[in-house]
Structure 1
Amino acid sequence: MAENTRIEWCDATFNPWIGCTKVSPGCDHCYAERSTPSRTLRVPWGPGAPRRRTSAANWHHPHRWNRHAIDHGIRYRVFCASLADWLDNEVPVEWLADLLNLVRITPNLDWLLLSKRIGNWETRLRAVLTYILSDDAVSYRADLLSWLEGWLGGGRPPSNVWLGATVVNQAEAERDIPKLLDTPAALHWLSMEPLLGPVDLTAIKRTVAPGFFGDALHWYHRGCCHEQDGIEYPAIDWIIVGGESGPRARPMHPDWARALRDQCHAADVPFLFKQWGEWAPDRDGAETCGNCGQTKFDTINAHGECGACGSDRWQRADTPLDTPCRIGKRRAGRLLDGREHHAFPIPPSGGAS
């Protein structure tokens, strides 16, 4: 669930449970809610609805991937909870304890822990800490206790955890990116899918020490505190951008994606353009109907005629049109201005702490 994923930015997905509650505009047309596993297992969605833990056989997959990684000297990027949210506060705490222990004992997997609830991180991990301290029957109690205390203390974040937040517009970026960067992690990343508006990451300013200033993407030093030179402060290490798919998909304007690409380039941050989704720019030189002027992508029918007036005469527009047109996910592809952007960050060395 699933080993051979089609998600462009990971090697495998692992769902410890299924089910969630919508908390963001990005959740409005949630693919996970309408996914085959959710429908087949009849998993209810929403506040108060019980989450569905996946099978023991499914929980065994990461162990097998970890062994394969050891045998072949490779690392898998594992996206955790594509059909849920690992920081969902309606998930039983003992399930989260089991998940964190699984992450701990599979140090050769890079776990991509993505959440729309990054502000829940400390509360949920402390709940796990309380649980394992109160239950002597937890077999992994001592080992997980040490692992959690290291992470919560900020000194030893696990090096096989890539901690991510989903943000889809400027308001979410300003609210959640500071929370993400305040959370200790070996690597911080953003999933900006579905991107629903322009986002300026350089507008998110942060000051954490005298003379040290920065934004969401990079830091710089100004002043005479030379003894602090060389100190590294957290910034976003990787950004994924994509448009929405599905029957009610909302369009992503090309300029929104371009702006994020350019911000990443200026800050030397890896940028991955995942997909256009259902909508994409009119790439064919903006052909229009020679009779009524409608754009070809908007109106062409199965017979090659303009669906608005029936004309079969097409002409090139005077200037290319950048207006998103609904052409379907497969046809839209993932090229941004004719180029594939498929960059990844350099993973932290070693395994879990």
Structure 2
Amino acid sequence: MAENTAISWATHTFNPWMGCTKVSPACDGCYAEALMDKRYGKVQWGPHGERVRTAPANWKQPIKWNRQAEHDGTRPFVFCASLADVFDNQVPAEWRRDLFDLIRATPNLVWLLLTKRPQNIVKMVKFVGFMPSNIAFGTTIEDRQRLESNLPALIVAGGLRPLFLFASCEPLLGDLGDLSPWMTGDSHPQRLAEGETFEKGFKITADGWPTLPAVGWWITGGETDQGGHRARPTHPDWFRAIRDQALAHGLAYHHKQNGEWSPLQANDGEWPTDEGSFIRLNDMGDRADDGWPMQKVGKKFTGRLLDGVTHDAFPEVNHG
């Protein structure tokens, strides 16, 4: 449940508990469900399943990582949680407080709390009663609808003064459009989620509006097959749009993988119809007769390179 991870944007993964409920299209091909529920039967997924806390020995692993990081003078990034969601409503609040105690006790680690429920962050941190200084908040943005619902809530959570905010655009299922308001901190308060309030931590400008934080780290990735779920395609232009905007604003950009699909090139032969391993894709991620032809070739073939470049950037954090 705790390990050195193969995930390119983290050093370790830590799972304080297991289990979750699907809440968005990004969850359709959940690898954690395919692995821990369907394959190993360790936990039942969904609203009627129990959340299973991991063993005490697992909870000691971050202490070891922290001690090694202090010795090495490094700040390892810890993805929490790959088999759950820290801000899941069905998780006992006491478990979350225990997790925050552990985070506070490991100051040399950078804890990446990635959630599909950013609307819960502020209220759940308030219940914990304190905010460790070595937390970064992130949310999953797979399409424009989730951009408009999740990023405003993430921005509000920025008032808790995390190390940084980040967006995981994996699996990316459509073109996200103009991201500059979120990359510059110019997202207007009126765009924030209805009913949200500004928490202590925002600076107020002369005109009475809060100064909003930017989302400083952008991660992209295509979907892979998981169990019985067949991966949906991502056109590389969608990755490029995020990459180009992030780099133009001087932000860290990290591309994890291209997924199972690749654009079908003119020299690949006659473009087949929308059948089998070929589809035509529009910029909203839907199949369309006049869309881009895509071919399923497998993740080993598509790899991680985007236009021949490996993008492995991480946000800078203080090592002092």
TM-score category by the smaller chain?
0.7 to 0.9
Cα gap change, 1:28/1:330 in structure 2, threshold over 3 Å: closer, same or farther? same
Instruction: Give the deviation of 1:325 after TM superposition.
Output: 1.6
- Partner Cα separation in structure 1 for residue 106 and residue 54 of structure 2: 18
Equivalent in the alignment of 1:100: 100
Cα gap change, 1:226/1:276 in structure 2, threshold over 3 Å: closer, same or farther? closer
Instruction: Give the deviation of 1:48 after TM superposition.
Output: 2.8
Cα gap change, 1:250/1:164 in structure 2, threshold over 3 Å: closer, same or farther? same
| 1:325 corresponds to 2:295 | yes
TM-score (norm 2): 0.81
| 1:57 corresponds to 2:34 | no
- Partner Cα separation in structure 1 for residue 165 and residue 205 of structure 2: 27
Deviations 1:193-241 (A, max 9, x none): 00011102437xxxxxxxxxxx100147xxxx9989xx96410110000
More deviation, 193-202/102-111 = 193-202
Q: Check the 8 A contact 1:18/1:38 in 2, yes or no.
A: no
Equivalent in the alignment of 2:193: none
| 1:343 corresponds to 2:317 | no
- Partner Cα separation in structure 1 for residue 68 and residue 36 of structure 2: 28
1:288 to 265, 268, 286: 268
What secondary structure sits across from 1:324 in the alignment? strand
Equivalent in the alignment of 1:216: 182
Q: Check the 8 A contact 1:254/1:324 in 2, yes or no.
A: no
| 1:276 corresponds to 2:258 | yes
- Partner Cα separation in structure 2 for residue 84 and residue 299 of structure 1: 33
More deviation, 19-28/117-126 = 117-126
Cα gap change, 1:63/1:38 in structure 2, threshold over 3 Å: closer, same or farther? farther
Q: Check the 8 A contact 1:17/1:51 in 2, yes or no.
A: yes
Equivalent in the alignment of 1:86: 86
Unaligned runs of 5+ in 2: 187-203, 278-290
- Partner Cα separation in structure 2 for residue 114 and residue 4 of structure 1: 17
Cα gap change, 1:227/1:21 in structure 2, threshold over 3 Å: closer, same or farther? closer
Q: Check the 8 A contact 2:223/2:258 in 1, yes or no.
A: yes
AA matched with 1:216: W
- Partner Cα separation in structure 2 for residue 251 and residue 159 of structure 1: 38
- Partner Cα separation in structure 2 for residue 288 and residue 299 of structure 1: 16
Equivalent in the alignment of 1:155: none
Aligned length, in residue pairs: 280
Q: Check the 8 A contact 2:111/2:136 in 1, yes or no.
A: yes
More deviation, 9-18/259-268 = 259-268
Instruction: Give the deviation of 1:52 after TM superposition.
Output: 0.7
AA matched with 2:260: E
Q: Check the 8 A contact 1:160/1:348 in 2, yes or no.
A: no
Q: Check the 8 A contact 1:273/1:334 in 2, yes or no.
A: yes
Instruction: Give the deviation of 1:160 after TM superposition.
Output: 1.3
Equivalent in the alignment of 1:187: 164
Q: Check the 8 A contact 1:271/1:344 in 2, yes or no.
A: yes
Equivalent in the alignment of 2:16: 16
TM-score (norm 1): 0.73
Query: Root-mean-square deviation (CA), in Å?
Result: 2.6
Q: Counterparts in 2 of 1:1-353, with a 5 A limit?
A: 1-36=1-36, 39-129=39-129, 148=130, 151=131, 158-183=132-157, 184=160, 185-202=162-179, 215-219=181-185, 233-246=212-225, 247-282=229-264, 286-289=266-269, 293-294=270-271, 323-348=293-318, 350=320
AA matched with 1:18: M
What secondary structure sits across from 1:34 in the alignment? helix
AA matched with 2:305: L
Cα gap change, 1:268/1:182 in structure 2, threshold over 3 Å: closer, same or farther? same
AA matched with 1:329: K
Instruction: Give the deviation of 1:186 after TM superposition.
Output: 2.2
Cα gap change, 1:41/1:64 in structure 2, threshold over 3 Å: closer, same or farther? farther
What secondary structure sits across from 1:200 in the alignment? coil
- Partner Cα separation in structure 1 for residue 276 and residue 100 of structure 2: 51
Unaligned runs of 5+ in 1: 130-147, 152-157, 204-214, 301-320
User: Where does structure 1 differ by over 2 angstroms across 4 or more consecutive aligned residues?
Assistant: 36-42, 125-129, 200-203, 225-228, 285-289, 321-324
Larger radius of gyration: 1
